[in-house]
């Protein structure tokens, strides 16, 4: 039913609508948050002086006083190019990951076709695109200002280059290894994506005994390790320096590398719906025709999902890395279960589109409170360029774009350390916060002399009174010395 060619035009219309709606709301959802601000400030540092410092946080929690090198340079270099071309702003910082997310949809479809040996119908492609682009976790990451989906794009492209039917297998596997390394140098978190697909290629070698295939696999491994090792030598002086860096003491975490290669285990209610329906499909497939689960596209996708979970995966933002694999299995397995499969897909579509619809309703309803242009306009009158401002994450773009310097209000070191640094060493001029009822604000007030200079009310009344879930509403204080 859902994969009938009669639905393809409907899917195309809905997918185009989702992409346009996503682009239209990219500046207002979510409000700037700490991960995004970390990465944008590192990009800002690289754009200005070719270093990888978190310029928004001199007390950056893992590597106080050092460059932030865990992720690699790719995301920051590419984003700095966008900043040079289109200027500094929230749209420019989120655009790269957003565009990569769209490319990943195409790459997932090609990966399914490679593994299954079948061409997906136009309706099948449309259904997959609709499911993944309406997936809450994937949608959140598209707007996150992070680098996960960019890294996913590089790795998927690398996997697709490892084509055993290629006439120039060595060249293709060499390029595969290089692209995988580029993905790892965007964020090493995507390392788990490589293992299942290359394990499948090893299986094909043992099945066919093709020496050129084994040589290609080795070539890809050497290329990936070589490119990554070059980064280690250039920035750390060697493996010893790299190990020393990732084991350096941190001011917040016990170890700067602790948990970095082991993904988070927090599973949200949104994810339980996807997991539950996936497990339901797997149970029905095992009962009716377990052989469908042994098809290459399903074994590879399921192995990727399982590896993600076994390594501790599950937090909302990282779940986007396996969303495509979930929907590959869902569509592949559901197509053989007829009415039951159609029912599961219907539930998934209903849930995804319903949740996405509610999210966009709230975001668009709160548009005035979320407008970065209105905030920038107010700030241009309230704060002189060249000022030093301590603030909440959400004010970073307006402060930096207005020509002032920004430091995190609530991150890096302890509360006491931040207050001492911001007022004594950095000599901040202003404090810009959204909530004056917190213990942290009382800590600032206890140790400094604050004078209320203004209040930003983008909708004229307190946001909570208007029913807004979130906004740029805040209070501007001056440090009186």
Q: Rounded to whole angstroms, how far apart are CA atoms 441 and 410?
A: 9
Tokens of 170: 């060595």
Q: Rounded to whole angstroms, how far apart are CA atoms 103 and 123?
A: 18
Instruction: Lowest mean pLDDT of 56-60, 250-254, 271-275, 443-447, name the range.
Output: 250-254
What are the φ/ψ torsions at residue 474 (nearest 5 degrees)? Answer: -170, 180
Q: Which of 362, 388, 423 is the last residue of a domain?
A: 362
Q: What is the pLDDT of residue 469?
A: 64
**Are 73 and 123 within one domain?**
yes
Convert the pLDDT of each residue in 421-439 to its tens digit: 999 999 999 999 999 999 9
**Are 123 and 259 within one domain?**
yes
Q: Which residue has the higher pLDDT, 118 or 221?
A: 221
Could you tell me the CA-to-CA distances from 125 to 10, 12, 21, 233, 328 in Å, in that order?
A: 12, 9, 20, 43, 10
Handedness of CA 46, 52, 55, 56 (dihedral sign): positive
Tokens of 369: 């409170």
44 inside domain: no
54 inside domain: no
Q: Which of 327, 362, 397 is the last residue of a domain?
A: 362
Q: What is the pLDDT of residue 152?
A: 98
**Are 225 and 292 within one domain?**
yes
Polymer length in residues for the chain:
481
DSSP 54-105: -TT-TT-SSSTTS---SS-SHHHHHHHHHHHHH-SSHHHHHHHHHHHHHHHH
297 inside domain: yes
**Are 101 and 244 within one domain?**
yes
Spatial contact of 142 and 24, defined as CB atoms under 8 Å apart = no
Alpha helices in 209-295 (DSSP H): 211-236, 239-246, 269-289
Q: Which of 301, 329, 362 is the last residue of a domain?
A: 362
Q: Is 213 exposed, middle or buried (0-12, 13-18, 19+ CB in 10 A)?
A: buried
CATH code for the domain in which residue 398 is found:
3.40.190
Q: Which residue has the higher pLDDT, 171 or 274?
A: 171
60 inside domain: no
97 inside domain: yes
DSSP 20-48: HHHHHTTTTSS---HHHHHHHHHHHHHHH
Name the E strands within 375-429.
388-391, 405-408
428 inside domain: yes
Q: How confident is the model at residue 464 (pLDDT cuts 50, 70, 90)?
A: low
**Are 387 and 356 within one domain?**
no
**Are 208 and 336 within one domain?**
yes
Q: What is the pLDDT of residue 334?
A: 87
Q: What is the pLDDT of residue 243?
A: 85
Q: How confident is the model at residue 252 (pLDDT cuts 50, 70, 90)?
A: very low
Q: Is 281 exposed, middle or buried (0-12, 13-18, 19+ CB in 10 A)?
A: buried
Within a 10 A sphere around the Cβ of 208, how many other Cβ atoms? 12
Tokens of 112: 């399914």
Could you tell me the CA-to-CA distances from 145 to 98, 138, 157, 473 in Å, in that order?
A: 8, 13, 21, 21
Q: Rounded to whole angstroms, how far apart are CA atoms 173 and 164?
A: 9
14 inside domain: yes
Q: Rounded to whole angstroms, how far apart are CA atoms 162 and 160?
A: 5
Convert the pLDDT of each residue in 75-134 to its tens digit: 999 999 999 999 999 999 999 999 999 999 999 999 999 999 989 889 999 999 999 999
Residue 260 predicted with pLDDT over 70 = no
Instruction: Lowest mean pLDDT of 65-79, 109-123, 221-235, 285-299, name the range.
Output: 285-299
**Are 91 and 195 within one domain?**
yes
Domain span holding position 133: 5-31+69-362
Q: From the CA atom positions of the chain, what is the Rg in Å?
A: 24
Taking alpha carbons only, the member of 346, 278, 331, 334 closest to residue 112 is 331
Q: Rounded to whole angstroms, how far apart are CA atoms 445 and 196?
A: 54
Taking alpha carbons only, the member of 99, 225, 121 closest to residue 174 is 225
DSSP 127-170: HHHHHHHT-HHHHHHHTS--SHHHHHHHHHHHHHH--TT-SSHH
75 inside domain: yes
Edge-to-edge order in the sheet of strand 405-408? 405-408, 388-391, 430-433, 474-479, 450-456
Q: Rounded to whole angstroms, how far apart are CA atoms 255 and 243?
A: 12
Convert the pLDDT of each residue in 306-336 to its tens digit: 898 887 655 667 889 999 999 999 998 888 7
Task: Report the SS3 class of residue 388.
Answer: strand
Residue 180 predicted with pLDDT over 80 = yes
Which position has the token pair 């055993």?
Answer: 164
**Are 194 and 313 within one domain?**
yes
**Are 378 and 333 within one domain?**
no
Pairing assessment for the beta strands 430-433 and 388-391 based on DSSP bridges: parallel
Q: What is the pLDDT of residue 322?
A: 93
The secondary structure of residue 311, as a DSSP letter, is T
**Are 135 and 180 within one domain?**
yes
Q: What is the pLDDT of residue 255?
A: 39
**Are 230 and 255 within one domain?**
yes
Q: Rounded to whole angstroms, how far apart are CA atoms 352 and 336?
A: 22
**Are 116 and 215 within one domain?**
yes
* pTM of the model as a whole: 0.93
Residue 205 predicted with pLDDT over 90 = yes
Give the mean pLDDT of 141-150.
96
Q: How confident is the model at residue 254 (pLDDT cuts 50, 70, 90)?
A: very low
Q: Rounded to whole angstroms, how far apart are CA atoms 188 and 179?
A: 13
Taking alpha carbons only, the member of 172, 161, 162, 177 closest to residue 223 is 177
Q: What is the pLDDT of residue 64?
A: 60
Tokens of 298: 């399903």
Residue 53: HSE in the Cβ half-sphere, 13 Å Cα cutoff: 14
Mean pLDDT of the chain: 89
Convert the pLDDT of each residue in 364-418 to its tens digit: 988 989 999 999 999 999 999 999 999 999 999 999 999 999 999 998 888 888 9
How many domains, the chain?
A: 2
Per the DSSP assignment, residues forming a β-bridge with 451 are 478
């Amino acid at each position: 039913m859902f994969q009938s060619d009669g639905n393809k035009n409907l899917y195309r219309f809905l997918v185009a609508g989702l992409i346009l709606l996503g682009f239209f709301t990219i500046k207002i959802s979510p409000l700037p948050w700490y991960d995004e601000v970390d990465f944008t400030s590192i990009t800002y540092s690289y754009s200005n002086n070719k270093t990888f410092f978190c310029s928004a946080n001199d007390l950056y929690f893992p590597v106080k006083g050092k460059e932030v090198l865990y992720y690699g340079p790719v995301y920051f270099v590419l984003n700095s190019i966008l900043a040079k071309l289109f200027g500094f702003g929230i749209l420019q910082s989120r655009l790269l990951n957003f565009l990569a997310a769209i490319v990943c949809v195409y790459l997932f479809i090609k990966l399914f076709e490679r593994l299954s040996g079948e061409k997906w119908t136009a309706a099948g492609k449309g259904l997959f695109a609709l499911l993944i682009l309406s997936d809450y976790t994937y949608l959140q990451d598209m707007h996150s200002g992070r680098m996960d989906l960019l890294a996913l794009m590089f790795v998927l492209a690398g996997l697709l280059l490892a084509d055993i039917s290629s006439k120039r297998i060595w060249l293709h596997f060499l390029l595969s290894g290089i692209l995988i390394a580029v993905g790892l140098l965007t964020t090493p978190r995507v390392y788990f994506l490589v293992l299942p697909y290359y394990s499948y290629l090893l299986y094909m070698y043992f099945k066919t005994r093709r020496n050129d295939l084994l040589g290609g696999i080795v070539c890809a491994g050497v290329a990936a390790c070589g490119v990554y090792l070059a980064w280690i030598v250039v920035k750390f002086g060697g493996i010893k320096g790299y190990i020393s860096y990732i084991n350096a003491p941190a001011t917040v975490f016990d170890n700067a590398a602790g948990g970095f290669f082991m993904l988070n285990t927090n599973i949200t209610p949104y994810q339980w719906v996807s997991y539950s329906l996936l497990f339901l499909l797997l149970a029905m497939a095992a009962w009716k025709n377990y052989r469908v689960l042994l098809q290459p596209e399903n074994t590879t996708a399921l192995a990727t999902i399982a590896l993600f979970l076994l390594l501790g995966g599950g937090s909302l933002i990282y779940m986007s890395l396996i969303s495509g694999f979930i929907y590959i299995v869902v569509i592949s397995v559901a197509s053989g279960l007829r009415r039951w499969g159609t029912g599961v897909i219907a539930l998934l579509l209903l849930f995804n589109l319903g949740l996405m619809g509610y999210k966009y309703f709230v975001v668009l309803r709160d548009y005035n409170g979320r407008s970065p242009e209105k905030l920038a306009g107010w700030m241009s009158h309230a704060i002189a360029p060249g000022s030093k401002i301590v603030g909440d994450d959400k004010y970073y773009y307006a402060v930096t774009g207005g020509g002032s310097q920004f430091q995190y209000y609530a991150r890096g070191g302890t509360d006491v350390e931040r207050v001492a640094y911001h007022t004594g060493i950095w000599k901040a001029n202003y404090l810009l916060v959204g909530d004056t009822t917190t213990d942290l604000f009382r800590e600032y007030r206890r140790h400094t002399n604050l004078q209320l200079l203004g209040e930003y009310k983008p909708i004229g009344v307190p946001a909570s009174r208007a029913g807004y879930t979130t906004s740029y509403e805040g209070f501007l204080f001056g440090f009186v010395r």
